[in-house]
A and B are shown apart, each in its own frame.
Chain A
């Protein structure tokens, strides 16, 4: 009978060891999940600073584009989609001016 009691005590100790390991793994999984969530959020939400930087860049490019088109028109070329790039005859073009005004 004593032999069985000894075996049960040994089994109990083994189970306690397993439970302790499960507890450790549980903590590690929790930490990984938290990190994953933080990374997802970081990827989805751009910070205001980053947003401003991107917008400034786009505005600069757009402004450059508008200025280039306006200069091209002044130099005597069509910038409207109808005759883009073709030389103007000297007179103003309704479609180019509407395009410039709209911009």
Chain B
């Protein structure tokens, strides 16, 4: 194997695949990055058997071949390389990888490329095409609402609910729920189906998509999903389990609708949170309202008392309610647009945030009992 490439391109590839390298590999070869050159393309592959990432970069190939290098060491080395062209070569499948630049030379130990489990080729399955911008929007607006508790794996995922009219993404940790209607470019699905994909991994994949206009092609089997975009190919495992019936928890109506500035509410909650952080404060902010203003109160014997007031427009009767400030704060940070509706139906009924100009999204927060 022999090829020449520049540091920025190689670094981009290594950064992409290194997310799939496990810190505790099941077999030694999984601590490595598989490199293969063929026809002026360098293919980098890494997998921890849960997720597999393949990234292709154009290089000048002098001789085809494959090798596996330790991911951590290779990543650190690539970062330290000069910006000039760098030549990589191996004398055979089991030989060390020689890296040459200027007059310098690095020799890295390698592993047997034939032991590396390459990503399966998926050809048959349901197919969906999305815009990268829509996929990224989903990870921004929905993924964060998923749980981090691995004991309940299906809640660590984002539900992809395919139905005849399109696609809905849902994530919940049972204390809040985010839902976004997807904009599918093309869909070829045998019958309505639901699948759960790990939320954190989806966010990682979104970071690898730099061009918002590019199309993301998905092929879905019963256990795996293949995501393909331009230079990137990712294989994800579908999380087993039945997602709870999320439609039941979304209130169909509201009794009180508050129209409020996202920025003003976000800043007020941020300030109020100071007196709700900690053991005594229990992370609670209490909301009360009248026709023109929303009052936010927080109280902690350790810190003191904070009272915030925000101008609002209210339809319906005032409903005093209390929320965990974190669930409000996290949603307000990602919701775009100037204004948002806060729909309430009762002190103990989940509140719903809906951006004014975007009916595709909603965010539900379970209230906290304060009595």
Binding site for B on A (CB under 8 A): 80-83, 91-95, 97-98, 100-102
Contact = CB atoms under 8 A, between A and B. Distances in A.
Consensus secondary structure, chain B interface: loop
B244 A97 contact: no
Contacts of B367: 92, 97
A98 B350 contact: yes
B175 A91 contact: yes
A75 B7 CA distance: 60
Contact of B366 (A81, A83, A92, A102): A92
Contacts of B366: 91-94, 97
A100 B248 CA distance: 12
Contacts of A91: 175, 324, 366, 368
Contacts of B175: 91-94
Contact of A94 (B152, B172, B368, B369): B172
A95 B349 contact: no
Interface in B351-368: 364, 366-368
A93 B248 contact: no
B244 A98 contact: no
Nearest to B155: A82
A94 to B, nearest CB: 5
B174 A95 contact: yes
A95 B368 contact: no
Nearest to B152: A83
B176 A97 contact: no
Contact of B349 (A80, A81, A82, A101): A101
Contacts of A81: 244
Interface string B173-200: 0111100000000000000000000000
B57 interface: no
A81 B248 CA distance: 12
Contacts of A102: 248
Nearest to A78: B174
A43 B178 CA distance: 54
B248 A82 contact: no
B348 interface: yes
Closest 7 CB pairs of A and B: A98-B249, A92-B366, A94-B366, A82-B244, A93-B174, A94-B249, A94-B174
Q: Identify the interface centre among A92, A97, A102: most chain B CB within 10 Å of its CB.
A: A92
A100 B364 CA distance: 17
Given A82-B174, A101-B348, A95 B244 contact: yes
Contacts of A95: 174, 244, 248-249
B285 to A, nearest CB: 14
B249 A92 contact: no
Contacts of A100: 348
Nearest to A90: B282
Q: Identify the interface centre among B249, B367, B369: most chain A CB within 10 Å of its CB.
A: B249
Q: Identify the interface centre among B324, B350, B367, B368: most chain A CB within 10 Å of its CB.
A: B350
A92 B368 contact: yes
Contacts of B248: 95, 98, 102
5 contacts: A92-B368, A94-B176, A97-B366, A97-B367, A101-B349
A97 B176 CA distance: 12
Q: Identify the interface centre among A81, A82, A94, A100: most chain B CB within 10 Å of its CB.
A: A94
A81 B249 CA distance: 13
Contacts of B368: 91-92
A83 B249 CA distance: 15
Interface in B220-250: 244, 248-249
A49 to B, nearest CB: 38
